[in-house]
Amino acid sequence: MTSLQLSAKEEMVEKFLDAAARGDLSQVSVLLSHVPSLINQTGYSGWSALMLAARNGHYHVVEALLSHGCDKFSVNSSSQTAYDIAKFWGHRHISNLLSRTDDGSRRVLPGSDLSRQENYFSRETLDRLSGKRTDKVWLETKQSDPDTVYLLFSSLSPMVSSSEEDGSAGQGETKLCRFRYEAVKDLLQKPATVLIFLGAEKREKPSSSQTQERAQEPPVWFAISTDEDAAQLLKRCTEKNCSFPKTPNRDLLKLNEEEAGIVAQARSVLAWHSRYSFCPTCGSSTELEEGGYKRSCLNSDCRSLQGVHNTCYPRVDPVVIMLVIHPDGNQCLLGRKKVFPAGMFSCLAGFIEPGETIEEAVRREVEEESGVKVGPVQYVSCQPWPMPSSLMIGCLAVAISTDIRVDENEIEDARWFPRQQVIDSLFRGARGALVVPPRQTIAHQLIRHWIGMNSNL
């Protein structure tokens, strides 16, 4: 009986995907009205109905699927979104539709196709409610609210639970462990505990039926960093396979998009607190204020208390990361560090120096690391990177010289890679001499953006 039910479900999904691929809006609408859960189902190679409709240029089907709330940010096995597919196949009217925000405004700059990508760590799941950070009474009330969510951090790593699939560790889903007040209230009393107010859960606009009564306030979230032994903290969790990730650069990329954005916020602020326990101006002790978004010196004579100082607030380090394009337009410059996995090459990157523009930082870093001189620079998109607290500013740059002279103190190798080799690695999984960074990195998105810039097949 179970196998028959499974076959019937598979048949329904196949019929739905086929209707979307053929542009049969009537059948798509009928099937969704009977089985709404079909909306994000996928078939071969992870292709959804939205992707198939985008591939074949069926604008009205794409429009209908979006109106039913389908996930336009999901990716297939080749890490392509429906936007990527529509753009690659030259369906500009569909790619324009997919690039709009929920309020109908365009997510691109006039005359360009930039900034459409929502990068990993970038999704704002919570409303930060920065205006509430100075309201001590409200914050204290919310701390003991039974609906409030707490995340536990140890050595800047969040407690997560994972489900192992096919017997392979690390292949399952990774989720944040969520705690309530009763489970952590003893930690809140410890002097060494750092508590960060993250914000309130975002909710959809209330429907007309809800206007007669005030909707209940959404749950708020806090992050806790404690010096309690990690093994003891893990005993508080009732879920299976709980742990604190030991290699954040890899393990935090296993979270879903919503939780990754929350971790980016929490980990960056906690990392700042771990470095600023004492006043960097006079060396005195500091205290937390404004929900964890400010540290004030306890020395009343300290000049940091006069005016605004960036030592008082969490800092973000701007980093340029750039894909350098060969003057012929068909090659890109990628480099690798010794710590990279075998065969992996990525975009060059470096910190912006004081008094330096983004464009000049791109030119300086590229020349320092590879010896290649750069001319025009164009911003594409950015990505928070909580390792510990950077903002990756993604750019495309055009080379005006092509000879490579690697600074081995920075990277161990740099090469020009032809477009076809990059396509084979990016979309077809061909390993060979090139492995591109994972899709959660802005380097991956910059490479994919370049590949799709002139595609109109």
Cis peptide before 388 (omega within 30 of 0): yes
> What would the mean pLDDT of 9-28 be, rounded to a whole number?
93
Average confidence score pLDDT of the chain? 87
Which segments of 10-127 are extended strands (E)?
Answer: 126-127
- Beta carbons of 85 and 51 less than 8 angstroms apart: yes
Q: What phi-psi label fits residue 247: left (phi over 0), alpha (psi between -120 and 50 degrees) or beta?
A: beta
Q: Given this model, what pLDDT does residue 401 score?
A: 94
Residue 228 neighbours by CB under 8 Å, 6+ apart: 154, 187, 190
User: 167 vs 149, which has greater pLDDT?
Assistant: 149
2-98 is classed CATH 1.25.40.20: yes
- Beta carbons of 345 and 336 less than 8 angstroms apart: yes
User: 104 vs 426, which has greater pLDDT?
Assistant: 426
> What would the mean pLDDT of 107-124 be, rounded to a whole number?
60
The whole-angstrom separation of Cα 53 and Cα 48 is 9
The string of pLDDT tens digits covering residues 264-307 is 999 999 999 998 889 989 999 999 999 999 999 999 999 988 87
Q: Given this model, what pLDDT does residue 457 score?
A: 27
- Beta carbons of 157 and 247 less than 8 angstroms apart: no
> What's the predicted TM-score (pTM) here?
0.75
209 DSSP assignment: G
Q: How many helices (H) and strands (E) does the chain have?
A: 14, 16
Hey, what are 148's tokens?
């409030």
- Beta carbons of 66 and 96 less than 8 angstroms apart: no
The whole-angstrom separation of Cα 327 and Cα 258 is 39
Q: Which CATH class is domain 317-453?
A: alpha beta
Q: Which CATH class is domain 126-275?
A: alpha beta
Q: Given this model, what pLDDT does residue 161 score?
A: 94
Residue 359: what residue type?
E
Q: Do domains 2-98 and 126-275 have the same CATH topology?
A: no
**Type and span of the H or E element at 63:** helix 59-67
Structural domain spans, the chain? 2-98, 126-275, 317-453
Comparing CA positions, the residue from 170, 167, 165, 159 lying closest to residue 235 is 159
> What would the mean pLDDT of 131-138 be, rounded to a whole number?
96
